[in-house]
Structures are given as C-alpha cells and as structure tokens.
C-alpha cells in the first residue's frame, strides 16, 4: 500500500529561469529615512546620556546589525572603547550594552517616525513591482517595538508591504545571517530563493541576502554609506556626489552586491536585468 502523503510537487531546478517573484527590502536608508538617520542619531544620543561622545561616522560603522549588536560593536571600536575606558575605568561589558540598549529603545520608539519620510521613488517602484505580480517583503535591524510604529507611520504615507520581519522576531537572530530574508520567503510562499532579490544599503544587509541565496542590490546614495539627507546630497556639486557614490558603491560591491544603484528609484531596470540573466541560466 502506498502511504506517501499527497504533498505539493516541488522539483528542484538546477537553473532557475523564471521571473523575479519577490523583493525583500530593508527599511531605513532603503524605503524610508534618506541617509539612515533614525538609527544613528538616536544611538549617538543614547551614548551621550552615559557621558560618551560618538561621532556620526563611528555610529554608522555597524549599521545593519540588530541594535543590541550594533551597540556592542560600536563599543568595541578603538575610539569609543578608549573613551569608555577613560570614563568608567573598564571596558564596556554586556551589562553596559544592556543599559545602553534600555536607554536607546524608548528614544528610538519616540523618534523613528520623525526621521522616516519616504525615499523619493518608493511608492512608484512598489506599484510597478505589484503590477508585475512581484511580492513585497521586508526586514530590518529594528526590534518589533520600533517596527510596529514605523509600519503605522509608513502606511500613513501610503507605504505598505506584505510582510515585515523585525530583528527580534526570530530565535535564530538577525543579520548578517539569512533568517529574516528567509522568513519572508516562507511567509510569501516563494518556491525558490533564486527568484528573490534583497535590497539593502548596508554591508550586513547584503551579506544577509547572499546567505539566503538571493540576488542582492546595494543602494549607494540613499542609505548609510553616504549618510546625507536628500537635501544635503542635492546641494553638493555633481563631482562630489560622484565621489561619494563611487566610495559607497565600491564598499557594497566588495561586500558581494550583484548590483549597486543610487536608490530604490533605479530598481525596475535592475529587476529587468536580473530576469534577463536568469533567462540565460545565470544564478545568484
């Protein structure tokens, strides 16, 4: 007697040659918050509450990680570690990270909406993806208590996604591991990770997409690597914009991004390029 259950017939394809099925977006610096200031400025303020000065450049180095991990890595940077040692007479310990995180979190919840205006082109691009039947997922280094008010604020501006994973939603953890991206694959019912594209402005976010087996697209100007508001960027001479674009793009490409573009506004052309490559047998 055949006792094999009637399961869906998912047959592994050696080469995936279909269309893009889903795009998994980061949030700050990708969909909202041009320049990614909500996480960085609040971290600076949290450290200031402990008598430790942190520069914006220092705060940006661990961007993309879960915020507890971000604080820990920030405290391990040579300059910050030295200032902590001088003030407290000992290296920063996990208990100190806990205390900083406890101070950071209510500030982040209070201010996330303040910084999270839509990045130009976001609504247009998402509408174009939906017209093509491409599913919209997302994930973030924000914990759930920050993600929830961010989702409400984004919706008030017309931005909604089908699924959003916060960094503390999963027992396995967050970036640079693949778990948040893969949680989107499961929730959206995508049968092949090679049909997915991860879009992010940070090195850990690119690593996340690569670990999940996805195509990855880095954002050079709208996110953490350039770290300017839209107005500040527009005010720069074109030569300086190009210099900053090149530096950010080089870092994201070195991290393994398959493509690097300025912002989400350039994504539709990249989706078309990825689909053309897959049609010819290329894989992420």
* Catalytic residue status for 94: no
Closest CA to 278 of 192, 194, 191: 194
- Return all residues near 175 (Cβ < 8 A) that are at least 6 apart: 64, 65, 66, 141, 167, 202, 204, 205, 207, 208
User: What is the C-alpha separation between 68 and 41, in angstroms, rounded?
Assistant: 15
What is the helix (H) or strand (E) element at residue 222, kind and residue range?
Answer: none
DSSP state of 255: T
Q: Which residues of 152-172 are buried (b: 16+ CB within 10 A; e: fewer)?
A: ebbeeeebebebbbbbbbeee
Quote the CA–CA distance of 133 and 23 in Å, as a whole number: 11
Active-site position among 33, 45, 67, 69: 67
Spatial contact of 205 and 26, defined as CB atoms under 8 Å apart: yes
β-strands 135-139, 22-25: how paired?
parallel
Q: Is 67 a catalytic residue?
A: yes
* Whole-number Å distance between alpha carbons of 136 and 176: 20
As annotated, the active-site residues are 26, 67
């Amino acid at each position: 007697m055949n006792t094999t259950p009637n399961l869906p017939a998912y047959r592994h394809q050696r080469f995936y040659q279909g269309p893009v099925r889903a795009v998994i977006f980061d949030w700050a610096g990708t969909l909202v918050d041009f320049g990614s200031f909500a996480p960085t400025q609040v971290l600076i303020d949290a450290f200031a509450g402990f008598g430790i000065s942190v520069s914006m450049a220092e705060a940006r180095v661990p961007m993309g990680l879960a915020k507890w991990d971000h604080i820990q890595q920030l405290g391990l940077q040579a300059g910050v570690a030295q200032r902590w040692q001088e003030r407290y007479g000992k290296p920063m310990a996990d208990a100190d990270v806990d205390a900083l995180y406890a101070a950071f979190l209510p500030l982040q919840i209070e201010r996330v909406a303040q910084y999270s205006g839509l990045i130009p082109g976001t609504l247009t691009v998402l509408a174009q993806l939906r017209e093509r039947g491409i599913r919209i997922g997302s994930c973030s280094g924000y914990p759930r208590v920050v993600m929830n008010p961010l989702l409400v604020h984004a919706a008030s501006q017309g931005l909604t996604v089908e699924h959003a994973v916060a960094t503390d939603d999963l027992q396995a953890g967050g970036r640079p591991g693949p778990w948040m991206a893969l949680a989107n694959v499961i929730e959206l019912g995508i049968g092949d990770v090679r049909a997915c594209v991860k879009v992010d402005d940070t090195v850990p976010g690119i690593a996340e997409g690569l670990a999940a087996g996805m195509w990855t697209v880095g954002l050079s100007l709208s996110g953490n690597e350039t770290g300017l508001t839209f107005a500040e960027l527009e005010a720069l001479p074109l030569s300086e914009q190009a210099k900053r674009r090149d530096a950010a793009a080089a870092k994201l490409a070195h991290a393994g991004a398959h493509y690097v573009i300025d912002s989400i506004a350039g994504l539709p052309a990249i989706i078309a390029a990825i689909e053309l490559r897959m049609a010819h047998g290329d894989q992420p």
